[in-house]
A and B are shown apart, each in its own frame.
Chain A
Amino acid sequence: MRIPGLLIALFAVLLAGCGESPVAFHGKDITGVMDDLSFTLTDENGDTVTESIVDGKAVVLFFGYTHCPDYCPMTLTLLAQAMNTLSEQEREQLRVLFISVDPERDTPALLKEYTEYFGPEVIGLTGSKDQLDDVTKRYRTAYGYGDKDEEGNYEVSHGLAMYGFDKSGRVRLLMRNDQPVEQVADDLKALTDL
């Protein structure tokens, strides 16, 4: 019976070994589980940009689309409320990247209009299918489209996670939008302190 014991120990090590972090987040610590921040996408001005636009800033990244009826505006509102509790210096060290997985409807101009509503720290991005596949695969998330109705509207499925990166672009945190505002604010602050 030594062998099953060994197997269990192996599982325990693998599960525990996913990364140590000096801070305790309210959300899930995913240090080391995924790759560093990296992307090539189109910004709100239609220019091709990479992760260098957020060099030296802590980043919260999430995927959505502007026609999203519930989740995306709720999450952006939650983030905006949490950011409002931070000091101006802390906010300056933080950027929110909203990546639209619906490039057909979300033009750079529409993204600009949408993200401005939630604050200057929110940056809208989108890209070609290849670019989006690349960044979604990197962060273990999928997206897909429902059928179009008579007016051409359609549903988009996308991940609900907010991914937190520290100032050097290392992945640290996975937050969900059912966290209370204070906890999100704590986690954002912890991200900027790393």
Chain B
Amino acid sequence: MWQTLQTALTPYIFSPLTVLLCLLAAGGWVLGARRLARQGRAPSMWRTLSFFTGLLLCYAVIHTQFDYYARYMFFMHRIQHLVLHHLGAFLIALANPLPVLAAVAGGRRFPLLARAFAPLRRVLFDPVVATLLFVGLIFFWLWPSVHFDAMLSLRLYELMNWSMLIDGVIFWLVILDPRDPRQARTSGFGVRFLMLVAALFPQILLGAYITFSEPGLYDVYAICGRAWPLSPATDQVLGGVLTWIPPAMMTILGALVVLRYYLNYEQRGD
């Protein structure tokens, strides 16, 4: 039992970068939450739970034995990206982590750093850019020749996974920002609905395309060998459906949260 668990939790390929970034994120939340608690503004238990569930899910799919299956089965790879880009990123963003992480700095201000990052943040959090990047990255990494190279090269593979996670968190941060858009000057709720719709249809099309294409679209899994003897056709159909249905469901979930915020502020506004 203990041995099985240990094997399951051992990363297939150890990545110091992954350990470091996950520890920084977890440590940042703990420290920031304690600072905020001293001011009586501690994040709720639900936010903490959402943040750590999201972080743990992401860690589990990239740094345990799961990663082995994600490298050698197309449909497992799609589950991995579903967690990184949708589910895990969604939970992390739902926790509204930026104020907590910013609290790590305490009273100190870093005007130079802030000024350097402001334009980057403005661009990446722009609704059009965020949506284009969100959809664009899915298409980019699923482009068969790019996908082939990413699965062969360790460097590209790591870049692929981290770009998916970071991009996912940014997109969902824009969508799930709980502040009143009129006061915080963030994207309006209508714009967020449009972002979700704009991101939804290309994903459905891509998922359907993969599902109904001739098998062998992603032949890197045949060339590198599958984790167990599963027919390439089944693997591709499963992967296509996983690109198609669950992301669409996450979009609906996102829309529900936006709707809730909207109703909340509408009532207060009256």
Contact = CB atoms under 8 A, between A and B. Distances in A.
A4 B137 CA distance: 11
B153 A142 contact: no
A80 to B, nearest CB: 21
Interface stretch (A10-18, A47-55, A89-97, A182-190): A10-18
Contact of B140 (A11, A141, A174): A11
A157 B152 contact: no
A155 B230 CA distance: 10
B226 A144 contact: yes
B72 interface: yes
B92 to A, nearest CB: 21
Nearest to A30: B152
B195 interface: no
B120 A3 contact: yes
B225 A18 contact: no
A174 B156 CA distance: 17
B162 to A, nearest CB: 12
Contacts of B123: 1-4
Interface residues of B, number: 30
The interface residues of chain B, by DSSP majority, are classed as: helix
A34 B224 CA distance: 13
Contacts, number: 74
B146 interface: yes
A142 B222 contact: no
A11 B141 CA distance: 11
A14 B149 CA distance: 11
A81 to B, nearest CB: 21
Interface in A68-127: none
A156 B229 contact: yes
Contacts of B226: 142, 144, 157
A4 B224 contact: no
Given A4-B129, A176-B223, A14 B228 contact: no
Contacts of A140: 71, 151-152, 154, 224
A152 interface: no
Contact of B149 (A15, A137, A143): A15
